[in-house]
Chains A and B, each alone.
Chain A
Amino acid sequence: MSPAARTSSAVRLALHGVSHAFGGLRVLDGIELEARPGEVTVLIGPSGCGKSTLLAILGGMLAPGQGRVVMDGAVAPDCLNALTYVFQDFALLPWRSVAGNVALVLEGSRLSRAERAARVAEVLEITGLAEFAGAWPRQLSGGMRQRVGIARALAVRPAVLLMDEPLSALDAQTRGLLLDEFAETIARLGVTTVYVTHNLAEAVRLGQQVVVLSRRPGRIREIVRIDRPLNGRAADDADLLAIEQHLWAMIRDDAAQADRERVNG
């Protein structure tokens, strides 16, 4: 197994009494949540319920108005960035090549030049990008760009992957392909993952615990556990479809109400 396939899996994240407001707008209220080591926690809920805000708080990119976030467990010695994001809009530097974008997050690290080059080559190989190492981001399709985002995240051997709607900017076919790749990669690495999505099919395909948030201010309505290995989940699995329908029934009214709130400004 390659070194990148030994990413740590012993890290746990926990939110205690987290609330947050933007100005007078309260977006999160009293969130108590645990992302278990090596598991995929999926956050779903209607638009504006604070899913991405919660992810930003988890990764230290936003200080919560109230409450605290704790991380415990052993971080692997080769981990260069414990809490690592994969972004919805890829966030690639257009002036750097594919390899340059991946190398960016290793520059300034304790790795030698040769180690950095080896790590870049390794993650590009894993994500199927080896032959595109010299390409500019503008030359790539959306799916390929997100693969670069994944390669960049894997390069730092993360303890926790924080994925903010990573497939929402892609077409349905590419989404399906990448979803399978995500499932395979996450299962292989066993890395603690928090995954935000609007898409319930993604939620039941990847989630080991699916956290359903209410409309704004976001509160936890229910946590659904799916105790089935990621590699053994088929798109037409009756149990998974039943869970998907249950999730939809839970958020449908909130989603409609949230949509009307957006129209009303």
Chain B
Amino acid sequence: MADIRFRAGGFAPRDIPVASVATLVVCVLLWQGGAAAGWISTKFLPTPWAIAQALYALAVSGELWANLSISLQRLAIGWSIGTAAGLVVGLVVGLFTLARSPGMAVVSALFPIPKIALVPLFIIWFGIGEGSKIVTLAFGVFFPTVINVVAGVDAVPRNLIRMGQSFGLSWWAVVRKIVLPGALPTILAGFRITVSIAIVLLVAAEMIGAEKGIGAFVLAAGNLYDTDNLLAGIVLLSAMGLAASWVIGRLEKWFLRWR
């Protein structure tokens, strides 16, 4: 006779918020400790404390906000334009047979192009000013948004759409009350990806043709071997990503509270 062994465990990962914070704290402490012990050269990799001091100095001098504000402005405008255009085009491609094949052909052809390679072209077309940077971001955000919205529309259960039609809902009411809310989980998940893409392109665009902004600041610090400020700029970029992710998480929590 033998006891029956439990064998249905695992495959059920959970989020432990404390563990997330603790992991980051431990990494920073190890980094600081490694530098203090002489295992890490502070010439090439400054300590977290040195980076914090650099950030403080930047904040006090006003340089931090001067660079951060313009980057945030570019990010917000570029991402919003790309997202709005992607939502409209994605809906049209997702809903209309006539637009579907041509739309997906164009998106599939242009999506894989590294948008960073297009920055010099955009500078030629739109000038060295804000236009080229905004267009770079919007262009980079547009294609994944279209793909996400189409996927979201396709994922809306057809039985719900047929239900709406069977009760005589108008085409627009079906789109507004069934298709859009049904596609929302996929669309919001896509926002996380497009915000990350936008931050990457923001830095690239600012490194190629900007005097202000986090990308330009990081490039200038690198040229001067000023690793404290260079890492301070990178920390700011990471914080921007985290903040954007937090905002999207709150949006998901509110809009998808029915799940």
Interface residues of B in 111-168 (CB under 8 A from A): 159-160, 162-168
Q: Does A132 contact B (CB under 8 A)?
A: no
Q: Does A57 contact B (CB under 8 A)?
A: no
The minimal Cβ–Cβ distance linking B4 to chain A, given in whole angstroms, is 28
Q: Does B61 contact A (CB under 8 A)?
A: no
Interface residues of A in 122-141 (CB under 8 A from B): 136, 138
Question: When A93-B160, A138-B258 are in contact, do A61 and B166 touch as well, CB less than 8 Å?
Answer: yes
Q: Does A95 contact B (CB under 8 A)?
A: yes
Per-position binary interface string of chain A over residues 8-41, scored 1 when its CB falls under 8 Å from any chain B CB and 0 otherwise: 0000000000000000000000000000000000
Give the CA-CA distance A249 to B169 in the complex, in Å.
Answer: 43
Give the CA-CA distance A108 to B168 in the complex, in Å.
Answer: 10
Give the CA-CA distance A91 to B159 in the complex, in Å.
Answer: 6
Binds A, one of B170-178, B190-198, B209-217, B229-237: B170-178
Give the CA-CA distance A89 to B163 in the complex, in Å.
Answer: 11
> Which residues of chain A come closer than 8 Å to B258, judged between CB atoms?
94-96, 136, 138
Size category of the B interface is: 20 to 34
- Selected contact of B259 from candidates A93, A94, A104, A107, CB within 8 Å: A94
> Which residues of chain A come closer than 8 Å to B241, judged between CB atoms?
none
Question: When A93-B178, A95-B258, A136-B258 are in contact, do A108 and B159 touch as well, CB less than 8 Å?
Answer: no
Number of interface residues of A (CB under 8 A): 22
**Are A91 and B173 in touch, CB under 8 angstroms?**
no
Q: Does A84 contact B (CB under 8 A)?
A: yes
**Are A104 and B165 in touch, CB under 8 angstroms?**
no
**Are B168 and A87 in touch, CB under 8 angstroms?**
no
Interface residues of A in 87-104 (CB under 8 A from B): 87, 89, 91, 93-96, 104
Give the CA-CA distance A156 to B168 in the complex, in Å.
Answer: 10
The minimal Cβ–Cβ distance linking B189 to chain A, given in whole angstroms, is 15
> Which residues of chain B come closer than 8 Å to A195, judged between CB atoms?
none
Beta-carbon nearest neighbor of A156 in chain B: B167
Interface residues of A in 146-167 (CB under 8 A from B): 152, 156
**Are B166 and A107 in touch, CB under 8 angstroms?**
no
**Are B181 and A81 in touch, CB under 8 angstroms?**
no
The minimal Cβ–Cβ distance linking B170 to chain A, given in whole angstroms, is 7
- Selected contact of B167 from candidates A94, A96, A104, A138, CB within 8 Å: A104
Per-position binary interface string of chain B over residues 67-82, scored 1 when its CB falls under 8 Å from any chain A CB and 0 otherwise: 0000000000000000
Beta-carbon nearest neighbor of A153 in chain B: B167
Q: Does A217 contact B (CB under 8 A)?
A: no
> Which residues of chain B come closer than 8 Å to A94, judged between CB atoms?
258-259
Q: Does A59 contact B (CB under 8 A)?
A: yes
Question: When A93-B178, A93-B181, A136-B258 are in contact, do A108 and B170 touch as well, CB less than 8 Å?
Answer: yes
**Are B159 and A87 in touch, CB under 8 angstroms?**
yes
> Which residues of chain B come closer than 8 Å to A108, judged between CB atoms?
169-170, 173
Where the two chains meet, the residues of A that have a C-beta atom closer than 8 Å to any C-beta of B are 59, 61, 80-81, 83-85, 87, 89, 91, 93-96, 104-105, 107-108, 136, 138, 152, 156
Q: 12 additional contacts, CB 8 Å, given A84-B167, A95-B182, A108-B173?
A: A83-B166, A84-B166, A85-B163, A87-B163, A91-B160, A93-B160, A93-B178, A94-B258, A96-B258, A105-B168, A107-B177, A136-B258
A-B interface, 3 closest residue pairs, ranked by CB to CB distance from nearest: A91-B163, A105-B167, A95-B258
Where the two chains meet, the residues of B that have a C-beta atom closer than 8 Å to any C-beta of A are 159-160, 162-170, 173, 177-178, 181-182, 184, 256, 258-259
29 residue pairs A–B, Cβ–Cβ below 8 Å? A59-B166, A61-B165, A61-B166, A80-B168, A81-B166, A81-B167, A83-B166, A84-B167, A85-B163, A87-B163, A89-B159, A91-B160, A93-B160, A93-B177, A93-B178, A94-B259, A95-B182, A95-B258, A96-B258, A104-B167, A104-B169, A105-B167, A105-B169, A107-B173, A107-B177, A108-B169, A108-B170, A136-B258, A138-B259
